[in-house]
Amino acid sequence: MSTVTKKIVIRYSADIVEQPITCQLVKKYDLDFNILKARIFPRREGVMVLELSGTKENFEAGMRFLKEKGLKVEPLSKSVTMNVEKCIHCGACIAFCSTDALSIDPQTMKVIFDPEKCNGCEVCVTGCPVRAMAVDLSV
């Protein structure tokens, strides 16, 4: 069986924040998780970034479970953004990007960001001298 490992962002609503969601991912769906970041408060909205691993079937079942619970789930890469107004197109971020999500357009010599290739590692955020790359984990 093939193993899937992905970084995801789960956004909680106030009515579900106190339910043992990650516990269910382990018990029911046999998924391993690593909490990368979390901002969860009792009776308030919250956000959690997880790296989830498991068989493809279990991973997909776990994702369905989260969505059926009413949680907003998206790949971490969807939370990575490039502020084109701040970007000076120096290309420093490209040296840090291991997935080729950042590249230089040979015609315009401008940095291009492809969120579909991004794995959400956030190295570009710290590598950008003008902080044009960011991760938005607001609720």
List the chain pLDDT tens, one digit each, 139 residues: 688 888 888 888 888 877 888 888 999 999 999 888 888 777 788 888 888 999 999 999 999 999 998 888 888 777 788 999 999 999 999 998 888 999 999 999 999 998 878 877 788 888 899 999 988 776 5
Q: Compute CA 48 distance to the chain's CA centroid, rounded to the nearest angstrom.
A: 9
At 96, list the tokens. Answer: 């840090």
How many separate helices (H) and strands (E) can be counted in the chain? 4, 8
Looking at CATH, the fold of the domain delimited by 3-70 is given as Alpha-Beta Plaits (3.30.70)
Looking at CATH, the fold of the domain delimited by 78-135 is given as Alpha-Beta Plaits (3.30.70)
| Whole-structure pTM value | 0.67
Number of Cα atoms under 13 Å in the Cβ half of residue 15? 3
Number of Cα atoms under 13 Å in the Cβ half of residue 9? 19
Domain boundaries defined on the chain: 3-70, 78-135
Residue 1, pLDDT score: 67
Quick count: other Cβ atoms within 10 Å of Cβ 128? 22
Q: Do domains 3-70 and 78-135 have the same CATH topology?
A: yes
With b for 16 or more beta-carbon neighbours within 10 A and e for fewer, the 63-100 pattern comes to bebbeeeebebebbbebbebeeeebeeeebbbebbeee
